[in-house]
Amino acid sequence: MTQQSKAPAGEREIVLTRVFDAPRELVFKAWTEPERLARWWGPDGFTNPVCEVDLRPGGAIWIVMRAPDGTDYPMSGTIHEVVAPERFVFAATPEDGQGNALIEALTTVTFADQDGKTLLTIHQKAVALTAFGAEAMQDMDEGWSQSLDRLAAEVASA
């Protein structure tokens, strides 16, 4: 008898750093307070009509990103660690329109004080569960870059 394994379509690990001209407490809140997170999460042109964060280890994250064409991209997740204002760790699973998992990602975000500014580091390990997920992972750097540009605007206006 032959067994077929569901090998992941791809794996990816990225590390991004950026300095924000804002105190780390504010940048941390922008990541962990749903009303702030909803304003910047996602690539250019995307909105977040649903953004829920239960900020505690074991708490849930539920974000629905809406693309400019009206397509919704839901993401569920679980918070693993919260050390305000230093560290935020969560697992996330973006889904397709039928609720099928596309990617499993573990994201660690650290916030370091740098003379009143914030050095933000994102470390993300992701595994694609579908061909579409693997394709989407190829654009992770660009998506994160656009999101972080939006985050910079969010903390600058606070």
Identify the weakest region by mean pLDDT among 12-16, 17-21, 58-62, 128-132.
128-132
Q: Residue 30: pLDDT above 50?
A: yes
3-state secondary structure of 88: strand
Domains of the chain, earliest start first: 10-156 (3.30.530.20)
Q: Which residue has the tokens 């560290």?
A: 87
Q: Where are any strands of DSSP class E within 10-116?
A: 10-20, 47-53, 60-66, 72-83, 87-94, 103-114
Residue type, 41: W
**Span 39-45, mean pLDDT?**
96
Sequence-ordered list of residues with C-beta below 8 angstroms from that of 124, at least 6 positions apart, any chain: 12, 13, 14, 15, 105, 106, 107, 108, 140, 144
Contact residues for 53 (Cβ-Cβ < 8 A; gap 6+): 32, 33, 34, 37, 59, 60, 61, 79
